[in-house]
Amino acid sequence: MTTGLPMGADPADDRAAAAPSTEPSSTAGPLSHRRRWQLGVVQSMGPPELIDLVPGYLDPDLLPVDLLRGAYRDALAEFGSAALSYGDNQGAVEFREVMASLVSPACGPEHVLSTAGTSHALHLIATGLADPGDVVLVEQTGYDLGRGILADCGLRLREVPTDDDGLDPAALRSSVLEARSGGQRVAFVLVTPTFHNPTGRVMSLERRRELIAVAHHLGVLVVEDDAYADLGLTEPTLRPPTLLEMAGFTGVIALRTFSKTLGPGLRLGCMVAEQSLVQRLVSHGYFVSGGAPNHTTSLAITRLISDGDYHRHLEWLRTRLRTRRDALLGALRDGLGTDPVLRFTTPAGGYFLWAWSRGDHRETDLLAAAARAGVAVAEGSRFGTTSAPSARLAYSFNSPSRLADAGARLAEALTLEQNR
Ligand SMILES: Cc1ncc(COP(=O)(O)O)c(C=O)c1O
C-alpha cells in the first residue's frame, strides 16, 4: 500500500467547511500535529511530489487526536485498574452494549465480539470458520487487502460477477453450485454492500433481499464488511439497513471498525452475529489467552459513544468528507466537459470515487496520464477484474483545495491525451 502525507494540505479548508451547530470545539477538530508522521512510525508514505489519491484513510488533519486524549483520560478515571487488566474475552460488556446499540435496537451485547478491526475479524473467520482449501466467494471488484488475508489463510478465492448494484445473486448461486459440484466447500461469501471499496456504490434494498434469499437457500454464510457504514454523505444521511438486520440476525456476520471514522491506529472494531457463531469464535485460544484485543481502547471508545461525542464527531467528519468529495467531483466535471473521456461514480458515502475510461485507453495509459499530471491514483486491476480501464480516487486523504487541484489536473491530462 502506498501512503503519502498530503504535503501542503491546508487545514483552513476544514475551518471553512460548515461546522454542525452542535459541535463543541473540544470534541473534534484539526488538532493533530504531523511532526512524527514519518516512515518507521506510520505504515508507508507515497511520493511527496505527487498529489496522492491512493490511500484509503483519513487526512492527518481529520484524525481526532484531542478527542481521543480525553476519551482515554475519562476511561482510565472511570474504570481505573480494570481498564489495564485483561479484558473480558468477548469484550467488556459496556463496549458490547454500545456497539449493539449502534447496529440495531434488536441486537444485544451477546451478539457482539470485540476485534482488533476488520482485518483481524477476517483472519479470525478465515481460521475459525473455514478450513484451508475452502472456497470464499468475493465480489469481482473488491477490497484487495481483505482478499490477501483470506488467501494467506489458505482459502481459495473465487470472484462473483457484479454490476452497478453490487454482487449478482444469480451469479452467486451458480458459483456456489459449481464449487460444490467440483467437491469444494464454500466457507462464506464476502460483500461490502454499503459505500463499497473501491467503487463507492450502495447495494439497493431489493438486491440485498435477493442476495440474502440466495445465501439462505444455499446455506452459505454471508460476511458483511461494513467499514464505511457510518460515513453516509447525503442529507438526510443515507444509512441502508444492514444485511445482518435484514436477515433477522441469522446467517450473516457484520464487521465494524473504527479505522475509517476515528483512526486505524486504534485497531478496534467488532463483529456482530448470532450467538452460536460468537461463542464458537470466542473460544479461540487467542481470546482465552489474551482476552479481548485492545481492551483499554475499547473502554475509551465506549465513553465517546455513550457521551454522544462519537456522533458529534461523525457529523463533523461527514461535513469534511462531503466537502472533499465535492471538490474532487466538481473539478473533474468542470475539467472534463459534457462528453467526458473519463466516467466516474458520485459516491453517496465512504472515501472513494471510482473512475473508468471510455476511450480505447488501457489502464496503464490512464495511470501514466495521471502521473504526468502529478497525481497518484490506485489502479483498478488491484481490486480484481474490471470491465474497463479503471482507477480508484480517494478523497479522504487530501484537503479540498488539493483535491480540486488534482481533479483539474487529471481532467486536463486526460483530455489532452484523448485529443493527441
Ligand atoms: C472495505 C474495507 N474493509 C476493511 C478495511 C480494513 O479495516 P481495519 O483497519 O479495521 O482492519 C478496509 C480498509 O481499507 C476496507 O476498505
The 10s digit of each residue's pLDDT in 314-373 is 999 999 999 999 999 999 999 998 878 889 999 999 999 999 998 777 899 899 999 999
The closest residue, in CA terms, to atom 9 on ligand 1 is 259
Which ligand 1 atom lies nearest to the CA of residue 257? 10
Distance of CA 282 to the CA centre of its chain: 24
Q: Is 86-307 in the same CATH topology as 12-66+311-419?
A: no
Q: What is the pLDDT of residue 18?
A: 41
The yes or no reply on domain 12-66+311-419 and CATH 3.90.1150.10 is yes
Question: Which range among 106-115, 130-139, 360-369 shows the weakest confidence by mean pLDDT?
Answer: 360-369
Which grid cell is 271?
Answer: 463483529
The closest residue, in CA terms, to atom 4 on ligand 1 is 118
pLDDT tens string 11-57: 545 544 444 434 444 444 445 567 788 889 888 887 788 999 999 99
pLDDT tens string 362-412: 899 899 999 999 999 999 999 999 989 999 999 999 999 999 999 999 999
Cβ atoms of 136 and 124 closer than 8 Å: no
Instruction: Tell me the average pLDDT across 56-82.
Output: 95
pLDDT band at 9 (very low <50, low <70, confident <90, very high): very low
Helix (H) or strand (E) holding 353: strand 352-357
Domain ranges for the chain, please list them. 12-66+311-419, 86-307
**CB atoms inside a 10 Å sphere around CB 95:** 29
- DSSP codes of every residue in 101-128: HHH-TT--GGGEEEESSHHHHHHHHHHH
The closest residue, in CA terms, to atom 13 on ligand 1 is 56
- DSSP codes of every residue in 122-188: HHHHHHHS--TT-EEEEESB--HHHHHHHHHTTPEEEEE-EETTEE-HHHHHHHHHHHHHTT--EEE
Between residues 273 and 340, the one the model is more confident about: 273
Counting every residue written for the chain, the total comes to 420
Cα angle 166-167-171, degrees, rounded to a multiple of 5: 145
DSSP 7: T
Which residues have C-beta atoms less than 6 Å from ligand 1? Answer: 56, 117-119, 143, 146, 192, 197, 225, 227, 257, 259, 264, 269
Q: Give the Å distance between the CA of 419 and the centre of ligand 1.
A: 39
Alpha-carbon distance of 4 to 43, in angstroms, equals 10
Residues 6 or more apart in contact with residue 136 via CB below 8 angstroms: 126, 130, 150, 155, 156, 157, 158, 186, 187, 188, 189, 190
The alpha carbon dihedral of 263, 265, 266, 271 has a sign of positive
CATH number for the region 86-307 comes to 3.40.640.10
Instruction: Tell me the average pLDDT across 168-182.
Output: 98
Which ligand 1 atom lies nearest to the CA of residue 117? 10
